[in-house]
């Protein structure tokens, strides 16, 4: 007998982009006391920043992601994963505070045998003198919703949660059931905050 389920991941999360910049650019912004957030909204470059001192084209900070980027619901107790049957009844729910220590393949807390796999793990290396632009969008709402089918009743031990961790912010990137990826789309999301800053060996 085939079973049909709907899975939702919701709560807090967002997106993060990282792009390397030359130290001269950081020093220019520091010397002239220029706020990256102000520059990011300065579409006509009214700040008159020379092109070679721009970390990205005015109002195009989203293009600054040559190191890493990720988007998704965050793995924390502020977010949840929920499964409903074909009648819309919630049959299983759990918070996403599921990372254990530093083991890439650690099982989820209180979810025995459920796999947790990391795709990307990146933090700016301060010792190498790296400087980057880091842009974060903080969002809340339904990040992923999708439908999947099984030949037996739902078993959370067959879930696999994939995530990216950039600058110590773990964001769910994908989810599968019994080895098959679940196709999801985003639901309603509300903006909370946008933040852009220089990070690294400042």
| In a domain? residue 53 | no
| In a domain? residue 56 | no
What pLDDT score does 200 carry?
87
Order across the sheet with 159-166: list the strands: 115-122, 159-166, 169-177, 180-181
What pLDDT score does 110 carry?
46
What pLDDT score does 59 carry?
77
Residues of the chain with pLDDT under 70: 100-115, 120, 125-127
For 155-158, which contacts have Cβ atoms below 8 Å and span 24 or more sequence positions? 156/83, 156/92, 156/94, 156/111, 156/114, 157/111, 157/112, 157/113, 157/114
| In a domain? residue 54 | no
Q: Is 80 helix (H, G, I), strand (E, B) or coil?
A: strand
pTM attached to this predicted model:
0.85
What pLDDT score does 115 carry?
62
Nearest Cα residue to 118 out of 72, 86, 150:
72
> Per the structure block, which two tokens stand in for 166?
């950039």
| In a domain? residue 30 | no
Residue with tokens 């190191």: 67
Domain count across the chain: 1
| In a domain? residue 166 | yes
CA 99 → CA 62, 104, 178, distances in Å?
28, 9, 20
| In a domain? residue 26 | no
What pLDDT score does 70 carry?
92
- The residue segments making up the domain with residue 124 are 3-21+64-200
Residue with tokens 């196709």: 183
| In a domain? residue 47 | no
Q: SS3 sequence, 83-146? A: EEECCCCEEEEEECCCCCCCCCCCCECCECCCEEEEEEEECCCHHHCCEEEEEEEEEEEEEEEE
| In a domain? residue 36 | no
What pLDDT score does 93 carry?
92
What pLDDT score does 87 carry?
95
> Per the structure block, which two tokens stand in for 86?
């074909």
């Amino acid at each position: 007998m085939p079973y049909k389920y709907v899975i939702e991941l919701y709560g807090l999360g967002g997106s993060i982009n990282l792009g390397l910049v030359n130290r001269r650019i950081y020093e220019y912004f520091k010397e002239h006391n220029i706020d990256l957030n102000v520059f990011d909204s300065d579409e006509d470059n009214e700040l008159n920043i020379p092109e070679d001192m721009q970390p990205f084209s005015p109002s195009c900070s989203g293009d600054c992601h040559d190191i890493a980027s990720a988007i998704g619901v965050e793995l924390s107790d502020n977010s949840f994963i929920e499964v409903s049957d074909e009648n819309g009844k919630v049959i299983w729910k759990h918070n996403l505070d599921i990372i254990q220590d530093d083991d890439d393949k650690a099982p989820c807390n209180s979810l025995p045998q459920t796999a947790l796999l990391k795709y990307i793990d990146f933090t700016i290396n301060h010792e190498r003198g790296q400087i980057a632009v880091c842009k974060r969008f903080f969002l809340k709402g339904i990040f992923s919703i999708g439908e999947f089918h099984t030949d037996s009743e739902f078993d959370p031990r067959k879930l696999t949660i994939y995530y990216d961790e950039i600058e110590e912010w773990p964001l769910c990137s994908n989810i599968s059931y019994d080895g098959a990826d679940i196709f999801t789309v985003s639901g309603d999301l509300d903006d909370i905050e946008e933040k852009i800053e220089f990070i690294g060996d400042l």
